[in-house]
Amino acid sequence: MSRPSLRYLQLLSEKYPTIQAASTAIISFSALLRLPKGTEHFLSDVHGEHEAFNHVIRNGAGAIWRQIEEMFGNTLSKSEQRNIATLIYYPELKIPQMLSTVEDKDEWCRLKLVRLIKFCRSLTAKYRQSTVRGFLPGHLAETLEELLYDREDAEFKVASYQSQIDTIVSTGSATVFITALAELIRRLAVERLHVIGDIYDRGPGAHIIMDLLMEYHDVDIQWGNHDILWMGAAAGSEACMANVIRTSLRYGNLDMMENGYGINLIPLASFALETYKDDPCQQFIPKVSPEDNFTEQEIRLMAQMQKAMAIIQFKLESQIIKRRPHYGMDERLLLDRIDYERGVVNIGGADYPLLDTYFPTIDPAHPDVLTSEERAVVGKLKLAFVNSKKLQQHVRFLFSNGSIYLAHDGNLLYHGCIALNDDGGFRSFNVDGQSFAGKAFLDRVDRLARQGYFASDNPEVKLYGMDAMWFLWCAPESPLFGKEKMTTFERYFLADKSTHVEKRNPYYTLRDTEENARKILAEFSLDPDTGCIINGHVPVKVTKGERPIKANGKLIVIDGGFSRAYQKETGIAGYTLISNSRGLLLAAHQPFESTQKAVSEELDIDSETEIIHTHSHRLHISDTDRGKEIQQQIDDLNALLHAFREGAIKERSVQ
């Protein structure tokens, strides 16, 4: 291993100016390496289900409940255990409810404080005291630290501990401390969260989920195809924006767009009302339920707006396909394949009758050209997207904390697929005489997506990147999509369901074999003997006997149906993978009813947990990627010590 340069050591000495400072840091980092690896959670395909997501985050996907059972199983009833669990999950809601039902409020506060402190102490064993101190709210930090680390075996400490509890209660501060302890428990229970894509679309609260993620202490995100669509829209891609609006209208999720992100849809509504006023738009009736309480007039307006945006979308997508011939998507130029007089479209050499032939804004001679009215609508909507402060904050967070894939602790995380040929070879994508496949292709499209958002000083590069984001949404070679075509047009306009089929990439068959999973891991320079792939995107059909563990344990699919739209198909409501110092656990969750029931009736998500791997030894931080980084810091500090002692670098005076 090469020694750091003298210039680097001089810079390092600014942070560690003396031999003692460097030595103390080495001692601290070395101790950290011997602590157990923290608990990490992996989940995917949340699809806007913010209440279920919030609950899973608060209960640590069942980790907190398991620890409550372990600590209090012999001393508290199941009812009392559920009570303390709900208090930890939702202290701000549960405390007032519980206090309203007890006679001796002070005694209730004392009991809850003692139990939460005891529980907290067990969790702090995985952390250094200085680390825990950093998690504590400033105004409570000193008192909480004393409560957590007091030695109760010393007689005078027992009295001091009890005095602090009594004083907290007598000063009316108990609820503040109980809330702080509950938040600390949730923080200690899970060290890091991994979201394997598709935060957006389907459900109503993706913007709420993004707010929760931005507040979370440590999170990474592997982008899904629905995420990249919103990222492209925020960047200014008109085709991505059209898809986002059309999809939101299709599922009646206008509240998120209008109130969550402040996107004004009035220009679109006005245009749709005028252009399609005599059109029943039957094929565009939104997929909403009676519980959504939409009026007939609202449903009709959403259908008109959806058709207006669908036609705009098909035009904009045709422009990209013609602008980027190397995408190889000419067969998706369906507006060009319509015989407008006969009312049929030619696909694959066959003519199919259209269910809807009313196209007042399409010029058959130039079918992909927007009318002046459509261009005005698109311009106003684009301004709304690029100027939405909340949306831009969320998308910048996705770029800062996200990527197409992540190699983490020897495992490979990605949302969709690694495009393969039928024979299992990596499918190549050719551009400008250069071929990209496997890891090289994922690295390329990751970079292009970033250019599409950030390259504002170069319009040509930015447009290329924005088109690449649309490519990632729906192209056959896209690692986020993984199908030969997206049949949006066919689903709207053709009755023949055979045209609706979206054939998957061979990856989705070949991933079941250990040989191909090992080959993919090796492509990303990961050890096939110890690593595994963590995948989302395609729901596991549990009702049909499908298992999430594939390729002899080398690949785990954790899309189990967070979205209500998929739960009839999957039979469950999502998988969560838990990685801790002892092994890997897979939790299958049942549907979450509501936050209100979780608090008032203490209904947790019913989950079944399966141990899928046990480590041969308990893993420490030294066994992780973080541990390797810490070891590198130790090596650099040892080099700095040597430079101090050899006189190559002078100690700095400490003010």
pLDDT, tens digit (0-9, with 9 covering 90-100), for 467-518: 999 999 999 999 999 999 999 999 999 999 999 999 999 999 999 999 999 9
Rank 122-126, 280-284, 570-574 by mean pLDDT and report only the highest: 280-284
pLDDT surpassing 80 at residue 391:
yes
DSSP-derived 3-state class of residue 513: coil
DSSP secondary structure of 174-232: HHHHHHHHHHHHHHHH-SEEEE-S--SSSSS-HHHHHHHHHHSSSEEEEPPHHHHHHHH
Average pLDDT over residues 136-154: 81
User: Phi, psi at residue 176, to the nearest 5°?
Assistant: -65, -45
Question: Sign of the C-alpha dihedral, residues 629, 634, 639, 640?
Answer: positive
Residue whose pair of structure tokens reads 């939460």 in the numeric block:
116
- Per-residue pLDDT tens for 17-52? 999 999 999 999 999 999 999 999 999 988 898 988
CA angle 548, 553, 556 (to 5 degrees): 35
pLDDT surpassing 80 at residue 300:
yes
Which pLDDT score is estimated for 606? Answer: 61
User: Phi, psi at residue 587, to the nearest 5°?
Assistant: -110, 125
Confidence band, pLDDT 50/70/90 cuts, at residue 543:
low
- Per-residue pLDDT tens for 559-597? 766 666 655 554 446 678 889 899 988 887 666 767 887
**Distance, CA of 648 to CA of 6 (rounded, Å):** 8
The interaxial angle of helices 91-99 and 78-89, nearest 10 deg, is 130
Which pLDDT score is estimated for 561? Answer: 60
Confidence band, pLDDT 50/70/90 cuts, at residue 55:
confident
**Position 634, amino acid:** I
Which pLDDT score is estimated for 572? Answer: 47
Which pLDDT score is estimated for 548? Answer: 85
252 φ/ψ sector (left φ>0, alpha ψ -120 to 50, else beta): left
**Distance, CA of 525 to CA of 522 (rounded, Å):** 5
User: Phi, psi at residue 265, to the nearest 5°?
Assistant: -100, 5
**Distance, CA of 608 to CA of 61 (rounded, Å):** 11
CB 196 within 8 Å of CB 41: no
DSSP 8-state class, residue 154: S
Select the more confidently predicted residue: 403 or 654.
403
Rank 136-145, 225-234, 430-439, 504-513 by mean pLDDT and report only the highest: 225-234
User: Phi, psi at residue 332, to the nearest 5°?
Assistant: -95, 10
Residues 6+ apart with CB under 8 A from 93: 595, 599
Percentage of residues of the chain with pLDDT beyond 70:
94
Which pLDDT score is estimated for 62? Answer: 80
Confidence band, pLDDT 50/70/90 cuts, at residue 389:
very high
Sheet containing 219-222: which strands, arranged edge to edge?
A: 402-403, 219-222, 192-195, 40-43, 575-579, 583-589, 607-614
Which pLDDT score is estimated for 558? Answer: 85
Confidence band, pLDDT 50/70/90 cuts, at residue 204:
confident
**Distance, CA of 334 to CA of 362 (rounded, Å):** 12
- Per-residue pLDDT tens for 230-273? 999 999 999 999 999 999 999 988 889 999 999 999 999 999 99
Average pLDDT over residues 180-187: 93
Which pLDDT score is estimated for 639? Answer: 95
CB 513 within 8 Å of CB 551: yes
**Distance, CA of 341 to CA of 147 (rounded, Å):** 81
**Distance, CA of 358 to CA of 153 (rounded, Å):** 83
pTM: 0.91
Which pLDDT score is estimated for 21? Answer: 95
Which pLDDT score is estimated for 213? Answer: 96
The two three-digit tokens of residue 391, written as one number: 């949306």
What is the average pLDDT value for the chain, to the nearest integer? Answer: 91
Question: Sign of the C-alpha dihedral, residues 634, 636, 637, 643?
Answer: positive
Confidence band, pLDDT 50/70/90 cuts, at residue 308:
very high
